[in-house]
A = this chain, B = another copy of it.
Amino acid sequence: MTDVPVSSRATQPHLDRKAPPPLPEGGLRVMALGGLGEIGRNMAVLEFDGKLLVIDCGVLFPEADQRGIDLILPDLGVIEHRLDDIAAVVLTHGHEDHIGAIPYLLRMRGDIPLVGSRFTLALVRAKLREHRLDPTSVEVAGGDDHLAGPFRCEFIAVNHSIPDALAVAVHTPAGTLVHTGDFKMDQLPLDGVLTDLGAFARLGAEGIDLLLSDSTNAEVPGFVTSERAIGHVLDDVFDRATQRLIVSSFASHVHRIQQVLDSAETHRRKVAFVGRSMVRNMGVARDLGLLRVAPGLMVSLDEATAMPPEQVVLVSTGSQGEPLSALGRMARGDHHQVTIEAGDTVVLASSLVPGNETAVYKVINGLARLGATVVHKDTARVHVSGHAPAGELRTLLNVAKPRYLMPVHGEWRHLRAHAALAEETGMARERVILAENGIVVDLLDGKAAIVGSVPVGDVYVDGLNVGDVGEESLQERRILGDEGFVALTVVVEPSTGTIVRPVHLSARGFADDPAVFDEALRLVEENLRRTLEDGETDPHRLSQVIRRTIGKWVSDTYRRRPMIIPTVLEV
């Protein structure tokens, strides 16, 4: 069937929901506030001798049923009372799901030192400027050591879909923990930076007590295709394109963009960046020497649109179908500068992040409808993943030889597949720790074990609102979004038991024609009058009459259950 054992039979220690005991002296505690049981908001908190070390602090993007939500943060409330104990935040790389929540953490304590690579810190600084925050930072590179409180952090270069990614080995008297961050093992990386297997092997020989390793692609068999392979595909697309060419990708994928620039140079097309984050990040990458730009290659979008279409390539955001992105607007035919013509070529040189399928195909269909040739991951190899698949995860396990493995960065299916891979390589089942967010793992006397859990919630960012929108509001949005509402207001005179003003109805999202409610309104008034005649004037009871009457009518007539909001006002 496949070379990937899809799951393991590891037992279910994660169902243990008791509060953890105090951390014993000499023990190292590990807890994830995000990234376990989900893809995103990666954040691990380590504790030793009263001090905390945070590894990554990212955001999670909402699912379709978390309506109106912009971002989901790790539950920082768990460490709120211990902010002064944080020795540092180590950042493995500059993706949003690893750095996106930093502004919210720094708002709570602005001088927490951030430790990361040059490109990572440059992206973080650009982000923090928008939040008017100026961080304290320490720049490190693969091979560097940095002491943060009792944590000696040793950094290891890894290869990922963004330059300058790092893994980190954290040495404490309790033992050594290694966190891979996100990684893969491209053996022909464009920038020559390989995942440093030698360092993992040396650490393995010295003894890794607990390995936290990226599980995102644990279900995918084999080994990653080199990023370099995409260059040939892009060249082929450039060869065939006779009109305008637009390439869309992630705004942080410097290597992918580099290949577009290289193809453009070869094919004598000028390049314009489109989209705020693309312009910003590629500026940073260029300043740091990570993006090589041939002299005269770049033009502004204004210049590009004035040139013959066959002489330019636009490099754009919007590869995830974002409706407000440049590409989203082009697909609907309402971009103010770029109009898609029959015969144009658009390349979506990116993965399709789960949950974005509908939006992405909507963009592809919009472009196809306008006559563009759309090249995307279903039709050509214009993307390779940034995460190690099964073959590479096995390799790392065999090289690093950890005593314990805790799969991280994955939904349950990925964590369990990673556990199965570990068992295959010979790890005993009880040495694989399957945990989810909030589960507390202690490393003590060379043994790692789940000791309890702390409750962690979802912190929603909703406009400027951080944390005020909770599950209750979301549940209301689900009902309102699926069913609409019917609000009925009546003014009564309690002393005489009479209705002063006829029942006023507002309904939204229920039926286009408000006349459907005529019959229902008659019923409500009739029932209200009868109740009042019986001497009942309590507004709460009258509200119940309204709710029951309209609820039954809607259910009988339409088999629907809109939200019903009765209001009884007394004069």
Which A residues are closer than 8 A to B by beta carbons? 1-2, 4, 6-7, 9-12, 14, 37, 63-64, 67-68, 219-220, 233, 236-237, 342-343, 354-355, 357-358, 361, 364-366, 368-376, 378-381, 411-413, 415-417, 436, 462-465, 468-474, 476-478, 480-485, 487, 489, 491, 500-501, 504, 506, 508-513, 516, 557-560, 563, 565, 567, 569-571
Contact = CB atoms under 8 A, between A and B. Distances in A.
A369 to B, nearest CB: 4
A372 B417 CA distance: 11
Contact of A379 (B2, B9, B471, B487): B2
A393 to B, nearest CB: 14
B375 A468 contact: no
Given A1-B375, A558-B464, A473 B511 contact: yes
Given A375-B6, A379-B4, A477 B468 contact: no
A509 to B, nearest CB: 4
A482 B67 CA distance: 5
Contacts of A412: 364-366, 368-369
Contacts of A489: 489, 567, 569
A37 B358 contact: no
A462 to B, nearest CB: 7
- Nearest 8 CB-CB pairings of A with B: A481-B481, A463-B559, A480-B480, A7-B373, A68-B482, A1-B380, A476-B509, A477-B509
A501 B571 contact: yes
Nearest to A508: B476
A10 B342 CA distance: 8
Contact of A380 (B6, B369, B413, B569): B6
A560 B7 contact: no
A558 B463 contact: yes
20 contacts: A1-B380, A1-B381, A7-B368, A64-B64, A354-B357, A365-B411, A368-B415, A465-B511, A468-B516, A469-B511, A473-B508, A473-B509, A473-B512, A476-B508, A476-B509, A477-B481, A478-B481, A489-B567, A489-B569, A501-B571
Contact of A569 (B67, B372, B491): B491
A470 B219 contact: no
A371 B462 CA distance: 35
B9 A342 contact: yes
A369 B36 CA distance: 11
B484 A473 contact: yes
Nearest to A468: B511
A559 B480 contact: no
A365 B64 CA distance: 17
A334 to B, nearest CB: 15
Contacts of A567: 489, 504, 506
A411 B358 CA distance: 12
A63 B361 CA distance: 12
Contact of A342 (B11, B64, B378): B11
A558 B463 CA distance: 6
Contacts of A220: 378
Contacts of A10: 342, 371
Nearest to A8: B373
Contacts of A474: 509
Contacts of A464: 557-560
Contacts of A9: 342-343, 371, 373
A66 to B, nearest CB: 10
Contacts of A463: 558-560
